[in-house]
């Protein structure tokens, strides 16, 4: 448990795994395992992207997986050499638990925003994004981590974590002031299919 109400140790550990992704636009990403990085699909519009590491290096990343329904993309960037995050379980969190996001909102590098976890809830596919029908065999409802963490352009693709610094979701969007993130356990399904 972090000392007192401060999350600085957990945030510092997580910031070491968070990168900036440049690909036309600008967003965040993080080292999931080995040399694989997670970001939002809407952050990377083409197959190649520049990955800016926490120590300031710019390395090439290649998109190796994408799920537009979940707004998730995987990048392979072997030259990045960034420590992987630890995955947490948003389904085990209690509503009211403190959480925090790390990203690059409005170009501010490695900013931390703190909020309260609300729930993991199913929301209709396309809500907050371009409306579309689910692909065959997919539910029209998708689970999202919901929290009142403040996000801005540049946070997309970055981690949302519990107070220990374990990643519980991938920041995707804000809808009416509510942060929505892809639950971390869903990333394993994408990894196994790519």
pLDDT tens digits for range 54-89: 999 999 999 999 988 889 999 999 999 999 999 999
pLDDT digits (tens, 9 = 90+) for 108-139: 999 999 999 999 998 876 655 544 454 555 56
Nearest to 30 by CA among 138, 136, 137, 166: 166
3-state SS of 52-118?
ECCCCCEEEEEEEEEECCCCEEEEECCCCCCCCCCECCHHHCCCCCEEEEEECHHHCCCEEEEEEEE
Q: What are the residues whose beta carbons fall under 8 Å from the beta carbon of 126, sequence distance 6 or more?
A: 132
Considering the domain 90-193 in this protein, what is its CATH number? 2.40.10.10
pLDDT of residue 130: 45
Query: Would you identify the CATH topology of the domain 10-76?
Result: Thrombin, subunit H (2.40.10)
Percent of residues, the chain, with pLDDT higher than 90: 70
pLDDT of residue 6: 74
| Every domain of the chain and the residues it spans | 10-76, 90-193
Whole-angstrom Cα distance, residue 182 to residue 146?
9
Average pLDDT over residues 30-48: 94
pLDDT digits (tens, 9 = 90+) for 3-25: 445 789 999 999 999 999 998 77
pLDDT digits (tens, 9 = 90+) for 131-161: 445 455 556 688 999 999 999 999 999 999 9
Is the pLDDT reported for residue 2 higher than 80?
no
């Amino acid at each position: 448990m972090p000392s007192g109400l401060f999350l600085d140790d957990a945030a510092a550990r997580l910031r070491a795994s968070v990168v900036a992704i440049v690909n036309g636009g600008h967003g965040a990403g993080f080292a999931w395992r080995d040399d694989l990085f997670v970001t939002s699909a809407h952050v990377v519009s083409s197959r190649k992207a520049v990955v800016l590491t926490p120590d300031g290096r710019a390395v090439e990343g290649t998109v190796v997986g994408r799920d537009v329904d979940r707004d998730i993309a995987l990048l392979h960037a072997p030259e990045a050499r960034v420590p992987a995050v630890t995955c947490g379980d948003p389904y085990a969190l209690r509503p009211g638990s403190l959480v925090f996001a790390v990203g690059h909102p409005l170009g501010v590098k490695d900013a931390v925003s703190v909020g309260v976890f609300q729930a993991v809830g199913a929301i209709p596919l396309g809500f907050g994004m371009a409306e579309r029908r689910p692909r065959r065999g997919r539910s029209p409802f998708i689970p999202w981590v919901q929290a009142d963490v403040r996000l801005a352009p540049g946070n997309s693709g970055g981690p949302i974590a519990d107070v220990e610094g374990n990643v519980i979701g991938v920041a995707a969007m804000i809808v009416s002031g509510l942060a929505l993130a892809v639950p971390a356990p869903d990333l394993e399904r994408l990894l196994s299919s790519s």
